Structures are given as structure tokens and as C-alpha cells.
Chain A
Amino acid sequence: MKSISLYTDRKSVLHSLDPINKLYYIAFAIFIPIILPSIEISLACVALSFTLLISGKVFTKTMPAFGVVLFTLLTVILIQGLFRPGNATILFQAGPFTMYREGLLYASILSLRVINIVSSFMILVLTTSPSDLVDSLVRKGMSPRIGYVISSVFQIIPEMMAAMETITDAQRARGMETEGNLRVRIRAFFPLLGPVVLGSLINTKERAMALEVRGFNAKSPKTYLLDQKQYRFSTVIQWGILFVIGCAIVWRLAS
């Protein structure tokens, strides 16, 4: 089955860590630059995330995710560099446009912030299978019903996409145009969306009944078929991260 998950199965230390640790790391990567706002600290965080991604053998897999933000970041750099209120120091001029140092610096900080967040999330996303993440969270106390919902999204979306493709082919075979002027394309929207929505809602009713007769709402404590995955160093890593964040706060307050 086609998967929407970006999880990349490799052998690495990162892959063998508890998904919860990676959530701690995301918190670390987001809060440290907020507590200690300097370009150096942000750069250090990005460098650390990049190192971890390389050690997890998944660095090249981050490219699509960075691709998504890249174009917007370029326009941010352009617009802030040219028009940011408070721009004063001219860097260079190109025709009628003037590029300023302040705007560019601000845009760099924004870009660094985005890159930092994306890279820390990529560690989680690329080295953790969704089912392991959900399993860890449910065993930590998240509602199994919410766990079910998240797991099933990963399976239902490919299923709905397949239904969507079938319907697209069928509608095209019946002469529906999906190209041309805007009016033609707008007219194609409902015939494509309607059947998928109706079909999936009908399925939803049956699936809900099938779940209920399999004890989905049972009050008894849940048991597990699979043993809890044994992760190493979890306590050390989690306390270590909390310790560093604590140190950063103390540093900020002291200086």
C-alpha cells in the first residue's frame, strides 16, 4: 500500500531511540533560540539537527520538506530586505530597488527559525514510524481512541486517494473536462469531490459499527499484543534535554 508517511527505515542510533525523546528534542530546538535569542545559538541548533540527521542517514530525505519552505523564504528575504519598516543601512541597489541590511538580517533570523523548526521535526518524522510514535504516546497515557484516529489517518488517506483516482478516470471517461478556462475547471470540482465524500461517509458508518462490536468503547483496561519496544537511554536523554533548557533559562536570567 502506498504510504503518506515520510518514515525512512534505516539502521541508526536515532532510529532506535524512543519517539518521545524526539518530541523532547523538538521542544529543545524550538525553546532554546527563544530563551537565548542570538544568531549563533540558532545556528548551533540547526547545526546540531543537521548532524543528527546525517548520523541517522536521512539528511537527503529532508530536501522535499525544505523545498516546501524555500520559495516562501526567498520572497521573505526579498520583501523584508526591500521594504521592512526601519530599513536604514543600504547594502546595494538594483534599478529602482534598494536592499537594506536591517531587513535582510531580520529575514535571515526568520529563515533560520523556520529551518531550525523544520530540521528538528524532520528528525522525528524521518526516523520514527507513525505506528511507533502513536504506540509510545498511547502507552504514555494518550487516549487509545485518539491514537486510533491518528493511526487510521495514515491508512485512510491513501485509500481515499485511490478512490479519488478511480473517480477521476471514470469522470474523464464520461467526457468531463479538467482543463480549459476557469469556469470549465470549477465545474469539474463537484463531480470529483462529491462521490469521494459520499462514499467515504457511508464507509464511515459501517466502520464505526465494526469498531463498536470489537470493543472500541470497552471500559476495561487495554492490553497489548506486541511487547512495548525497549528503548535505551530514554531517561538520560530526556533529563539531559530538560537540564540544558534549565541551564539556558538560568543563563538568560543571570546575564
Chain B
Amino acid sequence: MKKIIVENLKYKYPLTESLALDNLSFEVEQGEFIGIIGANASGKSTLCQSIVGLVPHFYKGAYGGTVIVDGLKVMDHAVSDIALKVGIVFQNPFNQVTGSKLTVLEEIAFGLENIGVPQTEMLERIETVLELLNIAPYRERHPFDLSGGQMQRMAIASIIAMKPNIIVLDEPTSQLDPEGAEEVFQAIHRLSEQGITVIMVEHKMEKIAHYCNRVMLLQKGKMIDFDTPEKIFSRDDLETYGVTAPVYTRVCKALDLKIPGTDYYPVTLEQASRVLGGKIK
């Protein structure tokens, strides 16, 4: 089943001249894990925000084409309605804390209270996401007293509690230490295993290669390519788009070792060690 259908999407922020998104068209299937990569200002964040409706509803500006998320046409619905279908997590965990709640429990409840989830169901949902994101021990803590990684997992939990079918993550670990980042990646992986469709912008290409079914490469608002990680990272012109392939790919490329039976280089540790192991033996 198609979860996201984007057709000829164009977008220009107010008071700017150039298109931030330039004629994008693509589709995403239920349960896919999609990575979005590209240089700075290539339109990654704008694309994320166009899926949840912040583009155009929050910024206004000029918009063209259509985005349909889980059957909902983004242009014709309010952000609060789209939020029931798709959630988004931003870079800075600090700014996602509402600042009006006194405990992690209440913080997660914020969205559920707003959309009118009955109390008993609210409690059930919160328990589930506390376990899923592995933050149950901090339930009574003050939201600002958490570490970066814990805070970001709380942000994800707050979104997941609203039961979207799709979650968009815009560089969810860029402001976290390695330990915090790993906690967050594992949490996202668990969500994906639950069947949630994941769209993730991320600079750590090893993580993109490890988790994603398909990777979208953007440059200056245009879609350059949208394919499997192996195909994307095997492109010879990758560097010109400001992207460095995963270290495994670069090593195997230097050694000219392709995945047997294909034209592509390995992108993950497993693939690389299989190829390299074969050679060494």
C-alpha cells in the first residue's frame, strides 16, 4: 500500500527567489525505511516538513503539486489533522519540549490531550511508548532534567504516542553524543520493526546504509536519484552532491570489490565482510 504519494511538488519560502523544492515526484510504500541525503540546503528539511504539512501551512510561501499522506491531501488539511497520520522529530531535542509540563509522563501526554484521547487509552499508549523508547525509568523526571539522548527519545515517544503510521526524522541525532545517538537509532529501528514507515534525514551514511530500504539523493531542491543504498552509494558522482559514501563502500571501491552478481559495492559492514572474507579465503 502506498503511504506517501508526491507529485510535481514545488515550494518556495516567502521572500525568497529560488525554489526550495523543485518538481519532486516519488512514492513510498507501507513499512519502508527511507533515507534522505544531500548537501546543506539541498531541501532535505523542507521535504520533511512538506510531508507533515508544516510546508506550506506553517511558513506559507508558494506551493505547487500534491502531497498525499495516508490518503490525506496535505494542502487541504490542517497540520493537527495530518499529525494523526504522520509525525515528525526535529534535530534539537530541547526545542521539542513543550515547556509547560512537569514530568516526562505529562510531556508525552501533551499531544494526546490536544487531540482528545480518552484518559484510560492515553495511559495505555503512554506506557507502550515508554517501554518502546526505553525511557520508562524516567517517567516522573522533569523533562528538562533528561540527557540529550533521553530527551530525544522522549520527543519520539511523544510523537509515536499519537499513533501515526509514518514518522519523519530530521537529523534526529545530530546534536547528540555518540552514546545518545546510538540509543536513538536503536529506538528508531524498533519502530521500523513494528511496521511504521520511517523517513529519515541523516548525515551518518553508515547508519543510512544499515537501516534504509531506499535512499533519496537531493541537490538544490531536485531529486537526483531514489534507489537502494547499494545503487546510490555506488554512484561515481556522489562527491559532487556533497555526500561521502559509507566507509565500507569506500574501502571496497578502492579494492574494486563488488557484491557478487551485481554492479554495486557493499554499503554495510556485513556486506563488506562477506565480500572481503570471500577474497581473503
Contact = CB atoms under 8 A, between A and B. Distances in A.
Direct contact of A and B (CB under 8 A): yes
Interface in A149-204: 151-152, 155-156, 159, 203
Interface in B50-74: 52, 54, 58
B57 to A, nearest CB: 8
Interface stretch (B23-31, B83-91, B228-236, B252-260): B83-91
A208 B49 CA distance: 13
A249 to B, nearest CB: 39
Interface in A86-131: 131
A214 interface: yes
Contact of A224 (B94, B102, B113): B113
A189 to B, nearest CB: 27
Interface range for B: 35 or more
Nearest to A129: B102
B114 A213 contact: no
A206 B158 contact: no
Contacts of A203: 92, 94-95
A254 interface: no
B116 interface: yes
Given A1-B142, A207-B95, A214 B83 contact: yes
A218 B145 contact: no
B100 A148 contact: yes
A226 B144 contact: no
Interface range for A: 20 to 34
Contacts, number: 109
Contacts of A216: 80, 114
Nearest to A202: B95
A217 interface: yes
A70 B117 CA distance: 50
A37 to B, nearest CB: 41
A219 interface: yes
Given A206-B90, A214-B111, A223 B122 contact: yes
Given A1-B145, A209-B49, A220 B99 contact: no
Interface string A223-255: 111110000000000000000000000000000
B224 to A, nearest CB: 27
Max chain A CB contacts within 10 Å: which of B83, B106, B126, B162?
B83
Contact of B159 (A208, A213, A222): A213
A215 B111 CA distance: 6
A234 B212 CA distance: 58
A226 B114 contact: no
Contacts of B115: 215, 218, 220
Contact of B114 (A151, A155, A210, A214): A214
Given A155-B100, A217-B80, A212 B114 contact: no
A99 B232 CA distance: 90
A1 B141 CA distance: 11
B96 A207 contact: yes
B112 interface: yes
Contacts of B95: 203, 206-207, 210
Nearest to A152: B99
13 contacts: A144-B114, A147-B100, A155-B99, A155-B144, A209-B58, A210-B98, A214-B83, A215-B114, A218-B81, A218-B114, A220-B114, A223-B113, A225-B109
Interface of B: 49, 52, 54, 58, 78-81, 83, 87-88, 90, 92, 94-96, 98-102, 105-106, 109-119, 122-123, 126, 142, 144-145, 155, 158-159, 162
Interface of A: 1, 131, 144, 147-148, 151-152, 155-156, 159, 203, 206-227
